[in-house]
Structure 1
Amino acid sequence: MGETTVTAVGGQGQAAPRSGTDDTRDGAIHGALRRIRTPRRPRFWFEILLIAMSYWTYSLIRNAVPEQKAEALSDADWVWRLENHLGIAVEDSVNHVVNSVTWLIIGMNYYYATLHFVVTLGVLVWLYRSHPGRYAATRLALFATTGVALLGYYFFPLAPPRLMNGGHFVDTVVVHHTWGSMASGDLKDMSNQYAAMPSMHIGWSLWCGLTIFALSTVPWARVLGLLYPATTLVVIVATANHFWLDAVGGTLCLAFGFTVVRVWYGALPYALPRRVATAGEPALVPARA
């Protein structure tokens, strides 16, 4: 016998039968959602194309945001005053101390320019090969993190410390003639210089670090996973590319990315099955804490 619902007619409850068509439609919708959310083996060339197009779109939108120089410099002054009020405004000291060690700051410039690409892609490849059941959800967390960061670039233009008025910070790329930032030197016209909030160096490195720590079974790799975002934090401050609070913004963006995954898949990506179901095998369900 079909389900019944109670409706009020003339002040009295009356049972109205639910049609089989409604049940069929609801079942079809539920089945479609379940199929979409079921982890499946990613396709290599599709993933390469998707990642390339996504990063190209992200860069295009980020650089298309108007470079509101006056507002960005004003916001930088406001952030600096806020950090002074909070007692955490030590970025200038870190910048000058590290800049005095030439080999170290040059290494940090190249670290800033390259590792957020190399490590992030490396973790994606590792997930694709070793954790195919978790790949799509973890990739979705990364994409959602990156997408929401664009709102910060648009609504809160922020100059990096090295471009602030007053000359308190050293632009380490200019001083040491390296190519450690797409927003410095000869490459400055290729990138929006006033999109420092949030820091995606932190958002991406924290995504990498948490993923390695949660899924790796090798102890030294798990340690490196934790050290990577911590080192990145030192680098973005020492090179005067970001404030501490930019790192907080990147962390909040990552929290949003994981929330999207939790809502869509019903679990965090690391709780999903490592492998995907094969033909004829029942669908694998997320592990529950």
Structure 2
Amino acid sequence: MNLRQPARRPPKRAGRFQPAAERPRAIPELLLITLLFLVYKLGRLAANGRVTEAFSNARDVWHFERWAGLPSETSVQHGLLHSETLVHAANCYYAYVHFPATVAFLLWMYLRRPTHYRWVRWVIVALTSAGLALHLLVPLAPPRMLDRTGLIDTGARFGPAVYGAPQTDTVANQYAAMPSLHIGWALIVAIGLIVTTRTRWRWLWLAHPLLTISVVVSTANHYWLDGIVVAVLLAIVLFALRPPAPAAPADEPAEAPASAAEPAGAGTAVAVAGAAAEPAPEPAGPAAGRSGTRPATG
């Protein structure tokens, strides 16, 4: 009877995509995201028309930052204005990286990390909803609109420009600076990629939110406080919505328990059976073949 443990199958390597069963269906997911985005845009436009309140809040934010000792946004922008190439690059980053980078991140999560995709999707929805509530409650003119700050609208001056005249802009609500979803979404992208990857270089994704912070401040589209508020909101959201537990790596399968690998006591039974089947050793020396043993002498 062969009681040897069967050979263990070789570990499976991680495939290019995770099982489709864990991935939400594409069409309903696309419709859901489109609907949520339209609700957000309509909600931002609903806050239009509160110009006086937006400028009053902007002056309050500016004075609070100076009282709190935060660096002046003006000094940051002056450092950028030394190079027209840097100004143009910052404007391009503000205009063309924010939304496409977030979409690309969601697509990658959907295809490669479907289990974490659901978590990331709801984190974005929760943070954006909280941001929309603040946009409605606290309309805020961006620093580029405050004359007393000495800041300029780098997009309108050097291009490319994202916004038109605020009086005629029917696409975006320019009085919704608080909080900065540019910074919030960039933080989600970086955190999501750090959580779901294992490469030693994953921490470099923090460069995206750091660049975003420097860009939105130096182009006078946001105050420091806009970034601080969105970071606090995101911390609350991440505390409430924890990421799913990481699965065991595909190339390191968990060790099977002893009860599953072989029956309890099987090793002992095999050892006893082997000992019984093994012939007794023949006596060596001149006494070989005698039927008795010589009594011990003192």
Q: Report TM bin, short chain.
A: 0.7 to 0.9
Q: Does 1:178 align with 2:160?
A: yes
Q: Does 1:237 align with 2:200?
A: no
Q: C-alpha displacement at 1:95, in angstroms?
A: 1.2
Q: Does 1:134 align with 2:116?
A: yes
Counterpart of 1:92 (choices 36, 56, 74) is 74
Q: Say if 1:269 and 1:77 are closer, same or farther in 2 by CA, change over 3 A.
A: same
Partner of 1:36: none
| Preserved contact between residue 67 and residue 192 of structure 1 (Cα < 8 Å) | no
Q: Secondary structure at the match of 2:37?
A: helix
Q: Distance in 2 between matches of 1:167 and 1:146?
A: 28
Q: Does 1:63 align with 2:35?
A: no
Q: Does 1:228 align with 2:202?
A: no
Give the partner amino acid of 1:212. L
Greater share of residues in strand: 1
Partner of 1:269: 243
Query: Which has the larger Rg?
Result: 2
Counterpart of 2:35 (choices 22, 33, 53) is 53
Q: C-alpha displacement at 1:178, in angstroms?
A: 1.5
Q: Distance in 1 between matches of 2:104 and 2:123?
A: 16
Counterpart of 1:246 (choices 223, 226, 244) is 226
Greater share of residues in helix: 1
Supply the RMSD in Å over aligned alpha carbons: 2.2
Q: Secondary structure at the match of 1:231?
A: helix
Counterpart of 2:186 (choices 195, 202, 205) is 205
| Preserved contact between residue 203 and residue 254 of structure 1 (Cα < 8 Å) | yes
Unpaired stretches in structure 1, ≥5 consecutive residues: 1-38, 262-267, 276-289
Identity of aligned residues (%): 35
Q: C-alpha displacement at 1:258, in angstroms?
A: 2.0
Q: Distance in 2 between matches of 1:140 and 1:272?
A: 18
Q: Distance in 2 between matches of 1:146 and 1:83?
A: 24
Matches within 5 A, 1:154-165: 154-165=136-147
Unpaired stretches in structure 2, ≥5 consecutive residues: 1-20, 250-298
Which TM-score applies when normalising by structure 2?
Answer: 0.71
Q: Secondary structure at the match of 1:65?
A: coil
Aligned residues: 229
Q: Does 1:146 align with 2:128?
A: yes
Q: Say if 1:183 and 1:148 are closer, same or farther in 2 by CA, change over 3 A.
A: farther
Q: Say if 1:119 and 1:274 are closer, same or farther in 2 by CA, change over 3 A.
A: farther
Q: Distance in 1 between matches of 2:132 and 2:138?
A: 10
Give the partner amino acid of 1:93. S
| Preserved contact between residue 45 and residue 170 of structure 2 (Cα < 8 Å) | no
Give the partner amino acid of 1:216. T
Give the partner amino acid of 1:225. W
Once the two structures are superposed, residues 16-65 of structure 1 have per-residue CA deviations (whole angstroms, 9 ceiling, x without a partner) of: xxxxxxxxxxxxxxxxxxxxxxx942111222222222112111111221
Q: Say if 1:130 and 1:186 are closer, same or farther in 2 by CA, change over 3 A.
A: farther
Q: C-alpha displacement at 1:167, in angstroms?
A: 5.5
Q: C-alpha displacement at 1:260, in angstroms?
A: 3.8
Q: Does 1:101 align with 2:70?
A: no
Q: C-alpha displacement at 1:66, in angstroms?
A: 2.9
Q: Say if 1:104 and 1:274 are closer, same or farther in 2 by CA, change over 3 A.
A: farther
